[in-house]
Amino acid sequence: MNISRRLLGKMAAALAGATMLLPAGAGAQDKPAPFDNPGDVEIALVRYLSTGDFFQAYLSGVEKQADALGVNLRVLDSRQDAALQADMVDQAIALGVDGIIIQHGLTESMKEAAQRAVDAGIKVVAFDVNVENDAIPQIEQSDRDLARLALEQAIKDNGEEWKAGYVYVAGIAPLDRRDETWREFKEKYPGIEEAAQFGTLDNPIANSVANQARSVVTANPDIQVMFAPYDEFAKGVKIAVDEAGLSESIKIYSADVSTADISAMREPGSAWVATAATNPAVVGEVSVRALAMLLAGEEPGKSVIVPPTLITQQALNDGDIKNMDDLSAKMPQFAHADVAVPDWMPLPERD
């Protein structure tokens, strides 16, 4: 039936003397299968982490790109339950979805679940979780660059010798990649002394980290830099630093950004001076586009990397940037990533 419509369309165009011009982003016949009938396509987003502004914005990007494609989206949220996330992959397989985005998670719990999906003939991409599977493209924020940009700014602001607090939870792929850069920086700059390492993903994450950070700054009041390479970590550290009255003596460097983060960074006397980030909504869009390319028989690449942007407190204040919309408008490199964008791919409308 679809083939017949395409053939009839070609015949009609020929009889008209090829005088019709199709608009950009024309009809379904210009898209590869299965996106010539996108309403028949179903994809699932299986989430591990969902707490915080970053993940809300990521979900928004997934939803907008799915809407632009015209496909059906199911969202399955495990709320940091590794066993439940693996079960949800199996649920998606049983539902007969065409594609799955695995968002965060633990390698040990997701590796076999991801392989089961591949064995079932389902296309899979993974965002910020290493499922150790060559058939599954990895969507990344270039986590090493996120950490590098933030730490280079810390060196620029504080010199090459300072005492640091470091927030880290092992076993989460993006945090592990950021940790690799942190360890490289400590080797490169032996004057950096790590006075304390702490961290938790217990909900609510910012408040849980704040509880730990209170003890850390009390025991180590001479800490000069807090490296908190996840914005929920940075929020928690800022709470503790503010309460301790140390906002003038401690500087916070992080990764990721949201409107709430921008507001916190722009508070008078804020200790949170820099972050490096990709637009989480754009990362969500890229995740869907990479999956769509797989479904269309195209290859997005084994590693699909969204480049980050350095965002400083000074730049936010100088540009009077109040929210994510302002950030996108005044830092165009943050607003869109020209990644996984084949010619046929419809993109979400920009505000």
Report the run of H or E that residue 315 belongs to, with start and end.
helix 313-318
As a whole number of angstroms, the distance between CA 135 and CA 102 comes to 13
CA–CA distances in Å: residue 298 to residues 1, 33, 102, 291: 24, 11, 19, 9
pLDDT at position 177: 93
In this structure, the dihedral spanned by the alpha carbons of residues 310, 327, 292 and 339, taken in order and rounded to 10 degrees, is -40
pLDDT in 10s for each residue of the chain, 351 residues: 344 433 434 344 443 333 333 333 434 448 999 999 999 999 999 999 888 788 999 999 999 999 999 999 999 999 999 999 999 999 999 999 999 999 999 999 999 999 999 999 999 999 999 999 999 999 998 899 999 999 999 999 999 999 999 999 999 989 999 999 999 999 999 999 999 999 999 999 999 999 999 999 999 999 999 999 999 999 999 999 999 999 999 999 999 999 999 999 999 999 999 999 999 999 999 999 999 999 999 999 999 999 999 999 999 999 999 999 999 999 988 988 899 999 999 999 875
CB–CB of 63/29 below 8 Å? no
Phi-psi region of 12 (alpha: psi -120 to 50; beta: other; left: phi over 0): alpha
pLDDT at position 141: 86
Tell me the CA end-to-end span of the chain in Å, nearest whole number.
37
Paired with 73 in beta bridges are 43
In this structure, the dihedral spanned by the alpha carbons of residues 259, 47, 109 and 143, taken in order and rounded to 10 degrees, is -30
DSSP symbols for 1-42: -HHHHHHHHHHHHHHTTT---PPTT--GGGS-TTTTSGGG-E
Task: Give me the residue label for tokens 């309460």.
Answer: 243
pLDDT at position 249: 97
Tell which residue, 308, 327, 309, has the closest CA to residue 318: 327
Q: Is the dihedral of CA 198, 203, 205, 210 positive or negative?
A: negative
Tell which residue, 170, 177, 165, 233, has the closest CA to residue 204: 233
CB–CB of 126/139 below 8 Å? yes
| SS3 call for 197 | strand
Task: Give me the residue label for tokens 């940790």.
Answer: 179
pLDDT at position 351: 59
Is it true that the peptide bond before 34 is cis, omega within 30 degrees of 0?
Answer: yes
Paired with 143 in beta bridges are none
Tell which residue, 285, 294, 300, has the closest CA to residue 337: 285
Paired with 126 in beta bridges are 102, 138
As a whole number of angstroms, the distance between CA 160 and CA 138 comes to 34
As a whole number of angstroms, the distance between CA 302 and CA 298 comes to 12
Does the pTM of the predicted model rise above 0.85?
no
As a whole number of angstroms, the distance between CA 86 and CA 112 comes to 8
| SS3 call for 185 | helix
Paired with 192 in beta bridges are 162
As a whole number of angstroms, the distance between CA 15 and CA 23 comes to 19
pLDDT at position 24: 38
Report the run of H or E that residue 73 belongs to, with start and end.
strand 72-77
Paired with 81 in beta bridges are none
